[in-house]
Amino acid sequence: MKIGLIGCGIIAETHAMVLKKVKPDAHLIVCDVNLEAAKSFAQKIKAQGGVYANIDDLLEQERPDVIHIMTPVSTHYETTKKALSAGCHVYLEKPLTETPEQFSELHELAKQRNRILAMGYSTLGMPVVMQAKQLVDSGKLGRLIAVHCDFMCAWGGNTIPEEKPDHWTYTSKGGILQNMVDHPASLIVDVLDNPETLQYQYHYARRNLLPFDPPDLLHISLQNDDQMGSLTLSLGHGNGHRIANYYLEKGTITIDMTRQLFSVIQGSGPPNIIKKTLSGITSGFSWAGGSIGNVFKVATGKLRRAPGIFSLIENFYQTIEGRSQLLVKEAIAFQMVQMLDNIWTDINNHPLQD
């Protein structure tokens, strides 16, 4: 199988690492507008195929089976359209496209060409997120009432997000927020019923932390007929903290995405002293035992680096082979692209709102 990697940024290293395990016999081809960077990356990952500066030459000369697109969002529409038109299956990193209309067109093109278009919302592939979703769907804790996600981002050495102000994310339509909000937003949209009916509100703030003074704090609340969800995204935060709580009729699920930890408190009715004590002990053991267990999982290779991306890429190739269905559903992607585009448009049209 020939696989083209379009874009040689940091995320491309993760894709290459996963492909070495998921598709060890694959023939990897590299493409980047910076040809020298493409050559260096190809050498680093020991790519067997050619190295190209544009996708047109790659598609014409290599005729790949699959394309992974990891370039700035402004290039996603044209690049994906060319790949699908050439008969390739496509894994598209988030943010998916600049407009909902572009995503709709690509979705229709994939259907016409009978190709798989996978959406790279990697949070939905995290083991703890999938575990929580499975428990919610099982009905063992009753129906979901509400879900909230705190997604607080911090970078090593107190550097700015993406480490440099000339990174493409700072000039995208949604600014630096656009490159991170897909993580908590996809978690919320995916677990609520009937995502196409969701209504939402948002609030944002600028804290003068980042280059160009973009909004760096965002809160979105969503609801359908009888469920609610919300997320808070903070950039330049002092502590990296990524927690989600799922509130159900018969219990609460808490997951820590940073540490890949999972805990459940079951029961109904007001907590008495026994319930409070037992639930505290249960949570403590879950967190402590999970932390120790993860150390061994990392040491033995059972807990992978970038587990969400690993799961989605593995699922993508299983879907191509007809052995699975995409973890990220089309309805989730449509709602995400439409909702976030509306938010970015509104923020840009009302810059003094905050």
pLDDT score for 354: 43
Each residue of 9-27: pLDDT tens digit? Answer: 889 999 999 999 999 999 9
- Model confidence at 169, pLDDT cuts 50, 70, 90, reads confident
pTM: 0.90
Q: Is the pLDDT of residue 335 over 50?
A: yes
What the chain holds in terms of domains, given with CATH numbers, is: 2-120 (3.40.50.720), 127-311+337-349 (3.30.360.10)
DSSP of 20-73, one letter per residue? HHHSTT-EEEEE-SSHHHHHHHHHHHT--S-EESSHHHHHHHH--SEEEE-S-G
DSSP 220-288: EEEE-SS-EEEEEEESS-SS-EEEEEEEETTEEEEEETTTTEEEEEE--S---HHHHHHHHHHHHHHHH
Q: Quote the mean pLDDT of the chain.
A: 89
CA distances from 116 to 80, 112, 329 (A): 11, 11, 12
Digit-coded pLDDT (tens) for 242-253: 999 999 999 999
264-281 pLDDT, tens per residue? 988 766 665 655 555 566
Structure-model confidence comparison of residues 162 and 92, the more confident one: 92
Give pLDDT tens digits for 340-351.
999 999 998 876
